[in-house]
Amino acid sequence: MSILRSLARLTFALHLVLLSSLAGAQVSEQQAARLLQGLAGASQAEKSIIVRELAGSGDERARNWLEAFSANKLSRIKTTGQIVIVTSNRGRNWAIADALTGESLGEMSRRELEAVQVNNTLRGEVDDLLSVIDLTVANPQVRLTAARALMGTVNAPLAERLNGLLADEDNPAVREALESALAIYRLGQGDGAAVAVLAGSLNPQARAALAGAARGDDPQIAAAATRALASIEQKLTLNRAAETLYFGLSLGSVLVLAAIGLAITFGVMGVINMAHGELMMLGAYTTWGMQQLLPGQPGLALILSIPAGFLVAAMAGIVIERSVIQHLKGRPLETLLATFGVSLILQQLVRTLISPLNRSVVTPDWMSGSIMINEALSLTLNRLYVIGFALVVFAGLMLIMRKTRLGLEVRAVTQNRAMARSMGIRATRVDILTFGLGSGVAGLAGVALSQITNVGPNLGQSYIIDSFMVVVFGGVGNLWGTLLAGLSLGTINQMLEPWAGAVLAKIIVLVFIILFIQKRPRGLFPQKGRAAEG
């Protein structure tokens, strides 16, 4: 009898191997259904064979099947024999889904379901298989993520499996990650040759393994590990510098967006607008408002917020110019005080109408996450989009200033207002349009800021002083100067913060600008024209 059982099991195993060879990298729907059906009716020994077949099938659904099996959630409908996954097992009726398609099948009485039995031995085997199952799928990015997750977790049985997978792996990045994972294990076993494999790795687990080897008893391995760590530290320093530069450029892009509208209005009208930060706040709140109008569609809401934020801030700026600023031309101190009062009014208006608490704006999926350059450097997508957005806005303003009649009139009024008036240019109209344009750009800055910080009544106050520093440093009314000054000050500030602190870094930047203005009172790119020279 025992001989017959052994022959049956052998026949069953050969049948499964045949199925696997016919399936290639991934089993077909019919073969997957047959394997799942076999799992439901097989003995414990046969189940062990089947779970290995599923794990090696390359089917991306295999992880879900094995996890359900290990958790006692893989079941068979008694009347039809269909294999299902229990998605909720509360109460008498359980929610189920088709194991093959994932389609919900509603609820069914638990008495109508027969669980696919699993014991602790099988559960342990399945857990081992799950640790490497993602290394068998077709998607190389999934394999790479799985290989990196194995760093520092490899044991003797897993090392044998990884050696087999490494022989078949054709992706260079995945091969490198698998070799590093194996090298960490071998180094822990005293294999000095593993140091050469880990010498250039930036993975934290690899560095920890090398640090442990550097403190070990073997002098040769310790010396080699120490040299490898020194080489890795140099690479880490370069990567940290690149990360600091990236964050500095992103901060500088925000400063450019915040200051570029201010540079236009300050250059044309000579107005110190202390309410410029609140115009940015209105753009940020417009983004939040669009997401309230379009719930569940953050991407569409953000795209629509770009023109909406521009228009809201531009209209608010025109109202401020017509109601306050036009009556105070030529009186800069009174204009400064009046616009400061306007900023307080706008802040309190937002607190009263919306809330004094910060609001969170949802970041769309296509702006979430990061681009991983290596294991020590990744670039967050939201900041990358802000940098690109700032450059697009800058290019658009340059086109307006260089290629349109409004740009020509703005440049004329900036260089010599009296002469421009004598040539028939309506300076008042230019002032209104310029202030509206500068305010609208401030609104765009608020839209961008909503993706990297919370939206609140005090949002603009954090950037108004920095914006004025950028304008003065770059040269009043000069767009290229504003771009260069914004990116420079953002990068310098980000480089100083790690060792000086946020507050002291800003003080150092302020002192630098004061000293710079002593030498070049008109900034990096001084304004041209007779009015500027006088």
Question: Which is nearest to 173 in space by CA: 201, 192, 193, 152?
Answer: 201
Among the ranges given (121-135, 212-226, 372-386, 494-508), the one the predictor scored with the smallest mean pLDDT: 121-135
- Residue 152, pLDDT > 90, answer no
* CB 115, CB 127: distance < 8 Å: no
pLDDT score for 519:
78
**Would you state the structure tokens that stand for residue 408, as one six-digit string?**
């020509």
pLDDT digits (tens, 9 = 90+) for 2-56: 444 444 443 434 343 333 343 334 556 777 777 777 777 777 778 878 877 777 7
Report how far residue 111's alpha carbon sits from residue 93's, in angstroms, rounded to the nearest whole number: 9
Distance, first Cα to last Cα, the chain: 111
- Residue 224, pLDDT > 50, answer yes
| Higher local confidence (pLDDT), 65 or 303 | 303
pLDDT digits (tens, 9 = 90+) for 479-512: 888 888 888 888 888 888 877 777 788 788 878 8
**Residue range 134-139: mean pLDDT, rounded:** 77
pLDDT score for 458:
87
**Residue range 298-309: mean pLDDT, rounded:** 93
HSE-up of residue 404 (Cα within 13 Å, Cβ side)? 12
* Tokens 């009296």 found at: 418
**Residue range 424-432: mean pLDDT, rounded:** 82
